[in-house]
Amino acid sequence: MDREIVILPDPPALASEAARRFAGLAVQAATDRGLFAVALSGGTTPRMLYGLLSREPYRRAVPWARVHLFWADERCVPVTDPESNFHLIGEALICRVPIPAQNVHRMPAELGAETAAHAYEDLIFAFFGGPSPQFDLVLLGLGGDGHTASLFPGSSAAQETERLAVAVEADYQDRPAQRVTLTLPAINAARQVIFLVSGSAKAGIVQAVLEGPEGEFPAQRVRPTSGRLTWLLDAAAAAHLKISSQTGTSSNAFYDPGSGCPF
């Protein structure tokens, strides 16, 4: 697994780096394979990124007609509910960019978690047309308990090794408990996984996940089989890390995008 850790000075710089990478991956995928299939996360952290992508230069730079949006997880609430990840991404991004409606593949969580999970698996297999669906990018957040998507510590969903999407019931902050989530098989098949983590409240869990003992947190089990894993952190979220930015699997090279490439 090829892993890099990139530390940005603040949330705007974090969102800018994420937008730059999103656009680059989208253009490359659209050029190489004719489309860019990306699974997005909800929560508060990616909002600034979605806003950036909805404005120039990214509104024009991203080949939206060839972008296919999927969700890493969804809460079982109506799409009109502000707690819906579809609602979040719809308002912040979908309504502001020229993406065709047929390219938006939301999780039908209003059907109920189990029904929606099976329907989403069928949708993914139908879209990718083969036994091994591979997203070009999965964008993930990190919860304060080490969850990602809706794969929570101690849950059977985080242990799933076959299915691509499953139903979840989880209590986290004051967010809806009934959810649908992509599983680790779906996430780890991706060409690129990017974690986007911001703020001092996440500094402890970031250090535990990246430098603590393996296996305790679902986020630690995100290890792309053949793809790249990138952690984009702002300085506040990275404050407890012993190392600074790190690129590659063995190198301790330090990479600060603001000062150019040191290699």
How many CA atoms does the CB half-sphere of 102 hold within 13 Å?
3
Among 141, 146, 224, 227, binds ligand 6PG (CB under 6 A): 141
Among 18, 21, 41, 124, binds ligand 6PG (CB under 6 A): 41
Of 178 and 246, which CB lies nearer to ligand 6PG in the complex structure?
Answer: 178
Contacts to ligand 6PG from residues 146-185, by CB under 6 A: 148-149, 175
Q: Would you count residue 42 as binding ligand 6PG (CB under 6 A)?
A: yes
Of 198 and 247, which CB lies nearer to ligand 6PG in the complex structure?
Answer: 198
What is the side-by-side order of every strand in the sheet holding 36-40?
A: 2-8, 228-234, 192-197, 137-140, 36-40, 67-71
For strand 36-40 and strand 67-71, is the pairing parallel, antiparallel, or unpaired? parallel
Q: Would you count residue 63 as binding ligand 6PG (CB under 6 A)?
A: no
What does the per-residue mask of binding to ligand 6PG show for 178-217, with x meaning CB under 6 A?
A: ----------------------------------------
Distance between CA atoms of residues 159 and 173, nearest Å: 22
Q: Would you count residue 133 as binding ligand 6PG (CB under 6 A)?
A: no
Number of H helices, E strands in the chain: 7, 9
Q: Which residues of 208-220 are buried (b: 16+ CB within 10 A; e: fewer)?
A: bbbeeeeeebbbb
Q: Would you count residue 43 as binding ligand 6PG (CB under 6 A)?
A: yes
- Mark the segment that binds ligand 6PG (CB under 6 A) among 36-44, 92-100, 111-119, 121-129: 36-44
Among 53, 72, 89, 232, binds ligand 6PG (CB under 6 A): 72
How many CA atoms does the CB half-sphere of 117 hold within 13 Å?
21
- Mark the segment that binds ligand 6PG (CB under 6 A) among 118-126, 135-143, 159-167, 213-221: 135-143
Task: Give the chain's largest Cα–Cα span.
Answer: 51
Hey, what are 99's tokens? 């993406």
* Shortest separation between residue 40's beta carbon and ligand 6PG, angstroms: 9
Closest Cα to residue 45, out of 198, 201, 171? 198
Which positions touch ligand 6PG (CB under 6 A)?
41-45, 72-73, 85, 141-143, 148-149, 175
